[in-house]
Amino acid sequence: MNYQPNTQFSVFPPAIKHLLIINAIFFLALANPFLFYILTEFFALYPLQYGIMNIPIEGRSFYPWQLISYMFLHGSLGHVFFNLFALWIFGQNLENLWGTKRFVLYYFLTGIGAGIIHLLVSGSPVIGASGAVFGILLAFGMIFPNRHLYILFLPFPVKAKYFVIFYGVMELSLGISSLQTGIAHFAHLGGMVVGYFLIRYWKLRTNLE
């Protein structure tokens, strides 16, 4: 893939900055009861068995735009904080390397793919940007495999590639065993799987540091 890395590193590149702002606005909007109803009824991602378009079941339906809109809704302060923190920490390196257009394309394709895989495997409603964020994490591990990460609960740094492998295996095991209900493990895995094939397709397989 041909790309032109940015000559100046930005801590808050355009896509990251706007995604942080939009997600924060949506999270604050959920505090309003009326907006909470509208957003959760029409913008969370519902499976097909809830009804297609204008044939709702239990008052909720699947709409195509939900494959994008669900990424901007979060269920708690911790949910939105950790997703946006990871998006910023890992995403800024990728957007500075790829450029904004390719980064945005990657982000939304991994998020859409994560939602589809979650619906196929789980069949339950889902919200949150976690699938796209896990796609970002996977990309960081593939492109910067030897970058050292300092994890709070570990006394030593861990290479990004090992961190990504660990998280992938953990999500797969938790998804299969269903040890933690209410967490969309297969959406997380879906984002990583889609991200892997996108990066392979773009031929970004070498250490670019």
Choose the weakest-confidence range: 32-41, 94-103, 111-120, 122-131: 122-131
DSSP label at residue 155: S
Residue 7 inside a domain? The answer is no
pLDDT digit string, tens, across residues 9-20? 788 999 999 999
Q: How far apart are CA 89 and CA 91, in angstroms?
A: 6
Range of the domain at 43: 14-202
CB-based contacts of 49, cutoff 8 Å, min separation 6: 57, 123
CATH number of the domain where residue 196 is located: 1.20.1540.10
Q: How far apart are CA 118 and CA 155, in angstroms?
A: 34
Residue 207 inside a domain? The answer is no
pLDDT digit string, tens, across residues 168-197? 777 666 555 554 455 677 788 889 999 999
| Whole-structure pTM value | 0.83
Number of domains in the chain: 1
Residue 92 inside a domain? The answer is yes
Q: Mapping DSSP to helix (H, G, I), strand (E, B) and coil, where does residue 176 land?
A: helix
DSSP label at residue 98: H
Q: Mapping DSSP to helix (H, G, I), strand (E, B) and coil, where does residue 137 land?
A: helix
Residue 208 inside a domain? The answer is no
